[in-house]
Amino acid sequence: MPHVVILYSGNLEQEADVALLCRRIADAMLTVTDEQGAAVFPPGGIRVLAYPAAHAAIADGGEAGRAAGGNGDYGFMYVNLRMGRGRSDEVKRRAGEAITSAAKACMSPAMERMLMGLTVQVDEGQEVFDSKTSTLHPLFSKARG
Amino acid sequence: MPHVVILYSGNLEQEADVALLCRRIADAMLTVTDEQGAAVFPPGGIRVLAYPAAHAAIADGGEAGRAAGGNGDYGFMYVNLRMGRGRSDEVKRRAGEAITSAAKACMSPAMERMLMGLTVQVDEGQEVFDSKTSTLHPLFSKARG
Amino acid sequence: MPHVVILYSGNLEQEADVALLCRRIADAMLTVTDEQGAAVFPPGGIRVLAYPAAHAAIADGGEAGRAAGGNGDYGFMYVNLRMGRGRSDEVKRRAGEAITSAAKACMSPAMERMLMGLTVQVDEGQEVFDSKTSTLHPLFSKARG
Measure the CA dihedral A86/A92/A98/A100, to 10°. Answer: 130
- CB contact B111 to C (< 8 Å): yes
Express each pLDDT in A48-70 by its tens digit: 999 999 999 999 999 999 999 99
* C-alpha of C98 from chain center: 10
- Residues whose CB is less than 8 angstroms from the CB of residue A89 and which lie 6 or more positions away in sequence, other chains included: B128
Residue A92 with chain B: CB contacts under 8 Å: 128-129
- What is the C-alpha radius of gyration for chain A, rounded to an integer number of angstroms? 17
Closest residue to C48, CB basis, from B56, B117, B119: B56
Q: What is the distance between the alpha carbons of residues A139 and A142, in angstroms, rounded to a whole number? A: 5
The backbone torsions φ and ψ at residue C83, rounded to the nearest 5 degrees and listed phi first, read -120, 165
- CB contact B30 to A (< 8 Å): yes
- CB contact C64 to B (< 8 Å): no
- CB contact C25 to B (< 8 Å): yes
Q: What is the mean pLDDT of residues A31-36?
A: 97
Check which CATH number belongs to the domain holding A102 and give it. Answer: 3.30.429.10
Residue C145 has pLDDT above 80, yes or no: no
- CB contact B104 to C (< 8 Å): yes
Q: What is the distance between the alpha carbons of residues C31 and B119, in angstroms, rounded to a whole number? A: 23
Express each pLDDT in A3-23 by its tens digit: 999 999 999 999 999 999 999
Residue A145 has pLDDT above 80, yes or no: no
Annotate B6-35 with b (16+ C-beta within 10 A) or e (fewer).
bbbbbbbbebbebeebbbbbbbbbbebeee
Query: Helix B89-113 vs helix B18-30: angle between axes, to the nearest 10 degrees?
Result: 160
Residue A145 lies in a domain: no
Residue A21 with chain C: CB contacts under 8 Å: 55
Q: What is the mean pLDDT of residues C34-62?
A: 97
Q: Is C106 helix (H, G, I), strand (E, B) or coil?
A: helix
- CB contact B47 to A (< 8 Å): yes
Residue A44 lies in a domain: yes
Residue A1: pLDDT band (50, 70, 90) is: low
Q: What is the distance between the alpha carbons of residues B11 and B13, in angstroms, rounded to a whole number? A: 5
pLDDT attached to residue B28: 98
A107 burial via Cβ count (<10 Å: 0-12, 13-18, 19+): buried
Q: What is the distance between the alpha carbons of residues B116 and C99, in angstroms, rounded to a whole number? A: 23
**pTM metric for this prediction:** 0.97
Nearest residue on chain A to C9, alpha-carbon basis: A49
Q: What is the distance between the alpha carbons of residues C118 and C133, in angstroms, rounded to a whole number? A: 32
Q: What is the mean pLDDT of residues A101-128?
A: 97
Number of domains in chain B: 1
* C-alpha of A77 from chain center: 9
Structural domain span for residue B21: 3-144
Q: Do B117 and C126 touch (CB under 8 A)?
A: no
- Distance between A103 CA and the closest CA of chain B, angstroms: 10
Q: Do A47 and C76 touch (CB under 8 A)?
A: yes
C37 burial via Cβ count (<10 Å: 0-12, 13-18, 19+): exposed
pLDDT attached to residue B144: 46
Residue C119 with chain A: CB contacts under 8 Å: 1, 3, 130-133
Closest residue to C122, CB basis, from A25, A26, A128: A128
ipTM of the complex: 0.95
Q: What angle do CA C38, C28, B59 make, to 5 degrees?
A: 80
Nearest residue on chain C to B7, alpha-carbon basis: C49
Q: What is the distance between the alpha carbons of residues A32 and A26, in angstroms, rounded to a whole number? A: 10
Residue B7 with chain C: CB contacts under 8 Å: 5, 49, 51
Q: Do B44 and A59 touch (CB under 8 A)?
A: yes
Amino acid identity, residue B43?
A: P
Residue A144 lies in a domain: no
Express each pLDDT in B83-137 by its tens digit: 999 999 999 999 999 999 999 999 999 999 999 999 999 999 999 999 999 999 8
Nearest residue on chain A to B144, alpha-carbon basis: A64
- Residues whose CB is less than 8 angstroms from the CB of residue B75 and which lie 6 or more positions away in sequence, other chains included: B8, B9, B11, B12, B15, B58, B110, B114, B115, B116, B117
Q: Do A22 and C74 touch (CB under 8 A)?
A: no
- CB contact A65 to B (< 8 Å): yes
Residue A11 with chain B: CB contacts under 8 Å: none
Measure the CA dihedral A117/B98/C42/A133, to 10°. Answer: 10
Q: What is the mean pLDDT of residues A74-99?
A: 97
C107: phi > 0 → left, psi -120 to 50 → alpha, else beta; which?
Answer: alpha
pLDDT attached to residue A125: 96
Residue C126 with chain B: CB contacts under 8 Å: 123-124, 126
Express each pLDDT in C104-119 by its tens digit: 999 999 999 999 999 9
Measure the CA dihedral B120/B124/B126/B130, to 10°. Answer: 100
pLDDT attached to residue C141: 79
- Distance between C136 CA and the closest CA of chain B, angstroms: 5
pLDDT attached to residue B10: 98
Residue B143 has pLDDT above 60, yes or no: no
Q: Is A20 helix (H, G, I), strand (E, B) or coil?
A: helix
Residue C49 with chain B: CB contacts under 8 Å: 7-9, 53, 55-56, 76, 78
Asked if B98 contacts C129 with a C-beta cutoff of 8 angstroms, the reply is no
